[in-house]
């Protein structure tokens, strides 16, 4: 279903008087960064309401590469948003009439300190999203949808520029910012990268789904990249992002029609920075679908592709809102054992 259809449904729903009370975002607490030496048990769900960084070091061709998971605030959505309720048409309506929200989930930004330069995957949220008038410029229906289905928790200190600075990563070290897709909790930090190359898959940029371009910086003109077919196992489409060819943008459609993920093929394991392919790893393994997805058939196919790749290579699966993703990153817990079919 395209965005126009979704908005038309929302308009009819609003005209019928389906209004949900929008509850206030809870106060934010602050936590300390976590690194390799102080990593919590993998089953521990940390408090994502403060600044939180997980760091691990992997090897690539004998060189050390640091990977950071940076929590840029939190997001909660209606339960029907995260988990499908009803058929293909009804699931969209249920997102808007659902009065129950999920727990607050992290909004991860991933940073790879690659020898060719730092690569940032997505940009997270910004604290202005908490302002009551933030969505005024996007139009009445889009404003209604976002106020009624999504809640954020973020402070200025949690935004990606401040957190990169705390890690000692200067803007001139950043090779590129790579976008998995163009939803606001992934694009609202773009404002902090005015002089950095921003990479988006061409079809995602030209044919987005439920994006809010009114919130983009006026200077936002990303470098559009085209996939090559059959260039990496399992994934039908991919394009190399490094000269070494060890970091790739791979097609993982479903959440949006042209959603991408970033694949880093390190020596010890491969790491898939998976955007919103699923909300957490268990959702992928159970074959459970999010209600908000653009195309459920594409999502199922993407699930199969990811699991097929995980049978061929040790794969650490890292969605953007998975509370346990950073623990899996630090502890190198793979999705499946290679050679064993799911």
**Which of 68-77, 85-94, 95-104, 192-201 is predicted with the least confidence, judged by mean pLDDT?**
85-94
- Please provide the DSSP assignment of 181-194 as one string: ---HHHHTTGGG-T
d(CA 89, CA 102): 22
| Residue extents of the structural domains in the chain | 29-213+220-331
Average pLDDT over residues 277-300: 97
Give the pLDDT of residue 178: 98
The region that residue 6 occupies, defined by phi over 0 for left and psi between -120 and 50 for alpha, beta otherwise, is alpha
Mean pLDDT of the chain: 87
Report residue 235 CA to chain centroid gap.
19
Give the pLDDT of residue 46: 52
Give the pLDDT of residue 30: 28
Would the pLDDT of 190 be above 60? yes
Average pLDDT over residues 275-302: 98
Average pLDDT over residues 35-61: 62
For the purposes of burial, counting CB atoms within 10 Å of the CB of 214, is it exposed (0-12), middle (13-18) or buried (19 or more)? exposed
| Beta bridge mates, 262 | 249, 273
C-alpha radius of gyration, the chain, whole number? 19
CB 56 within 8 A of CB 67: yes
Average pLDDT over residues 283-299: 97
Instruction: Work out the pLDDT band at 50, boundaries 50, 70, 90.
Output: low
**Overall fold of domain 29-213+220-331:** Metallo-beta-lactamase; Chain A (3.60.15)
Q: CB-based contacts of 311: which residues, under 8 Å, 6+ apart?
A: 336, 338, 339, 340, 341, 342
Model confidence pLDDT, tens digit, residues 130-166:
999 999 999 899 999 999 999 999 999 999 999 999 9
Would the pLDDT of 32 be above 50? no
Give the pLDDT of residue 315: 98
Would the pLDDT of 10 be above 90? no
Give the pLDDT of residue 341: 56
Model confidence pLDDT, tens digit, residues 223-237:
999 999 877 889 989
């Amino acid at each position: 279903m395209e965005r126009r259809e979704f908005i038309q449904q929302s308009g009819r729903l609003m005209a019928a008087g389906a209004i949900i009370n929008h509850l206030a975002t809870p106060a934010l607490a602050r936590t300390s960064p976590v690194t390799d030496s102080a990593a919590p048990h993998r089953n521990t769900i940390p408090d994502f309401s403060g600044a939180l960084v997980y760091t691990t070091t992997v090897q690539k061709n004998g060189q050390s590469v640091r990977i950071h998971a940076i929590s840029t605030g939190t997001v909660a959505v209606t339960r029907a948003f995260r988990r499908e309720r009803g058929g293909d048409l009804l699931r969209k309506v249920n997102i808007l009439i659902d009065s129950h929200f999920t727990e607050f989930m992290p909004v991860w930004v991933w940073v790879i300190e690659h020898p060719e330069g730092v690569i940032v995957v997505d940009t997270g949220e910004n604290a202005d999203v908490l302002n009551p008038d933030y969505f005024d410029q996007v139009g009445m229906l889009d404003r209604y949808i976002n106020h009624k289905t999504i809640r954020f928790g973020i402070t200025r200190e949690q935004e990606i520029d401040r957190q990169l600075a705390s890690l000692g990563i200067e803007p001139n070290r950043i090779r590129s910012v790579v976008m998995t897709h163009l939803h606001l909790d992934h694009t609202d930090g773009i404002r902090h990268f005015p002089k950095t190359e921003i990479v988006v898959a061409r079809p995602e940029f030209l044919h987005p789904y439920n994006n809010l371009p009114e919130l983009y910086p006026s200077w936002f003109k990303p470098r559009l990249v085209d996939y090559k077919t059959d260039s990496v196992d399992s994934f039908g489409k991919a394009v190399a992002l490094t000269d070494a060819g060890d970091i790739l943008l791979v097609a993982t459609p479903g959440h949006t029609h042209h959603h991408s993920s970033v694949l880093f093929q390190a020596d010890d394991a491969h790491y898939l920075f998976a955007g919103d392919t699923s909300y957490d790893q268990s959702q992928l393994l159970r074959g459970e679908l999010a209600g908000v997805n653009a195309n459920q058939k594409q999502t199922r196919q993407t699930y199969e592709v990811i699991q097929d790749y995980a049978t061929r290579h040790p794969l650490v699966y890292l969605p953007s809102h998975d509370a346990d993703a950073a623990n899996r990153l630090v502890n190198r817990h793979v999705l499946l054992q290679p050679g064993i079919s799911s």
